[in-house]
Structures are given as C-alpha cells and as structure tokens.
Amino acid sequence: MTSKEFTTTVVEPRLELIRKVLSAKGTEYGADKSAFHTFEQASKLSFHKTPQGVAWEFMCKHLQSIKDMIDDRQQFGTVPSKALVEEKIGDTINYLILLEGMFQEDINYKEIPTGTNTTTTYDKIIFTDQNE
C-alpha cells in the first residue's frame, strides 16, 4: 500500500467515521449533558474513582480484542474481518479521544488565578469561601 493509498483508504475514512460516531454518541446521550456524562456517572458504580479510569476500563475490552486478533494472526494465520478491525480499532481511537478531552477538561480546571482558595477532589477543583 502506498502512502497515498493509505491516506485515502485508511486515514480519511477513519477520520470521517470518528466524527460520525462521536457526534452520534453526543446526540444520543444529550447535547446539553457533559460529553463525559456516562463516564462521570459510571465512576460512582465502578472500582475506578475517575471518569478517566472508567474510560480506560471500557477501552481495555477493545484492546484485548485487538490483541486477540494479533495473536490469532501470528499463531494461526487468521485474518480478521474488515468490519471487526474497523470496530475495535475505531472504538479504541474514540476512547483515546475521550480520554484526551477528559484530561483537557482537568487541565482547564487547574488553570485558575494564583491566590484563589481551592480544594482539589479527584478531577475537579472546587472553589471555597476564602473565610474557611
């Protein structure tokens, strides 16, 4: 596969699919809610205490599937279907993008004026009264 073929047959379709899936999921979960609502709520049910931990846990299922595809290819010469490859690779990429967004949100919370009285809890900064 040439670089040009790689771009037109893999990169461009993947970028379009990422936009489509993440946009559809955003609409499905409600545009007025946090983009990370599911992960924030699941952190209350999960062994993970942060949305990032929950996203990582969800993504690990896809990473294991990819590892299984690699192992099957090496051991038995089995080539997975195009649909399976697109699903597992795509879902993993989408989880990484969601993780990046969650960390960006954390970074933005931490960019507060010097001297502001705050208390940090996991991934959010809570502004407190300066008299406390």
Q: Which tens digits make up the pLDDT trace of 44-76? A: 888 888 999 999 999 999 999 999 999 999 999
- Cβ-Cβ contacts under 8 Å for 124 (sequence gap 6 or more): 106, 109
Angle formed by the axes of helices 82-110 and 12-29, nearest 10°? 60
pLDDT at position 35 is 85
User: In the block, which residue shows the tokens 């942060």?
Assistant: 50
Contact at 8 Å (CB) between 54 and 65?
Answer: no
- Furthest-apart CA atoms within the chain: distance in Å: 68
Contact at 8 Å (CB) between 72 and 78?
Answer: yes
pLDDT tens digit at each of 132 positions of the chain: 999 999 999 999 999 999 999 988 877 766 677 888 888 888 888 888 899 999 999 999 999 999 999 999 999 999 999 999 999 999 999 999 999 999 998 888 766 555 655 554 444 554 444 544
Domain boundaries, the chain: 36-127
pLDDT at position 108 is 82
Buried b (16+ CB within 10 A) or exposed e, 68-81: ebeeeeeeeeeebe
pLDDT at position 110 is 65
Short-list 6, 102, 109, CA closest to 59: 102
Contact at 8 Å (CB) between 40 and 49?
Answer: no
pLDDT at position 31 is 65
Contact at 8 Å (CB) between 53 and 43?
Answer: yes
pLDDT at position 127 is 47
Q: Is the pTM of this model over 0.85?
A: no
